[in-house]
Structure 1
Amino acid sequence: MTAMPESYEPTERTVPTRNRDRASYDRALVHSILDEAYVCHLGFVRDGAPVVLPTLYGRIGDRLYVHGSTGSRPLRTAGSGEEAPGLPVCLTVTHVDGLVLAKSAFHHSMNYRSVVVHGTAHQVTDPEELRTALDALVDQVVPGRADDSRRASAKELAATAVLRLDLDEVSAKLRTGGPNDDPADATLPHWSGVVPVRKTYGTPIPADDLDPSIPLPAYLASA
């Protein structure tokens, strides 16, 4: 088996016009940013106008699976089957890690990690791949949950649609560190620094009809 390259190949669409030093094409970094989230924004053109939809996704290797409904416009546009033209899309994922407060309003910023994927999305039609994709979507949100829940029935599968998007044209971009104030502002009497932003989870709340003998799963207890 041929080993995957350590980096994605930059393209005209994945090279930023500003702050190019913040861009990265490292495969492991891209995957780590994607694996830490589960909500993406999917952009495409509908009737000549841009549309951006928030939705769930899951990653398997160098492929993303994006959740949708059989009645949604992007799924109908993407078509089904390998011969379908697919839907040109731009998918983004972003983590905000800190609010960067500078002495001047102009230099306020954010510490962040983001991934942008360009490509053509196709609807998943193979039943086995669809089940695998749905497992990936569930586990992306709560790792280990797919094996601890009833799989989708045939009726539920018929009402669910998934888009497949390969990670071919992709880049990461990130900012770290403190504010970049102008030297002339160093003595201004304003607080400056970074306010960290972290994602936290609360204590799981059992459903009203949950059998009290069913314990909290280990994957939730450690979340």
Structure 2
Amino acid sequence: MSETNQSTTPQKKNNTLLELFFNIVIPSIILMKLSSPEYLGTVTGLIVALAFPVSYAIHDFIKTRSLNFISLLGFLSTLLTGGIALFELSVEWLAIKEAAIPAVIGTVVLASGFFGKPLLAKLLLNPYIFKLELIYETLAQNGNTEQFKRKINNANLILASTFGFSSTMNYILAKWIVTSPTGTVEFNEQLGEMTLLSYPVIAIPSLIMMFGILFYVIKVIAKLTGLTFEEMLNAS
């Protein structure tokens, strides 16, 4: 009985507003406003700013007892940013790092489709949201299972392309904004500005693309099964 309860209890959802403040707003304010010598200074300001997303990632791991692949990359991205700044490497490495993280995710998503286990299916076809057993049974009865798999693979390719978009935009944004040498107040300020702008310039368009993919998957399920949106939802 206890195993059943554990498997059917959904994980606690993260507080999106809290994530936004800890990962973007607070670090950006510290880097842009408190990194000058009269306040925290460049090194201390950078360390304090990066401590917020790192602390949030550790807190989230302790709370959920899990760290998925994308969260792990986000955690590593923060540490790499700190390393580039503290060791005063060329700003070119920052642009490369910014582009590399979503590029790695996109490559994993793309590869998952070739191995017949598209990551999109795990991300969107959630048993807490959809009646997956009913959907798969209806697909099999209608003889549309293979067609459904092809459609999901197509959506998986689109998902990979969204990470390609993020990778390109991250590189352009980093090259455009962060031009000052590492270890300077100007670098910290520009890093904060880049972090702040990355949300409306990159995250929001990527989120819109994700909603578009979800809408496409729902339309495919409805067409191939004949189920209505309400019938495929797991409302219980």
Q: Same fold per TM (> 0.5)?
A: no
More helix by share: 2
TM-score by length of 2: 0.25
More strand by share: 1
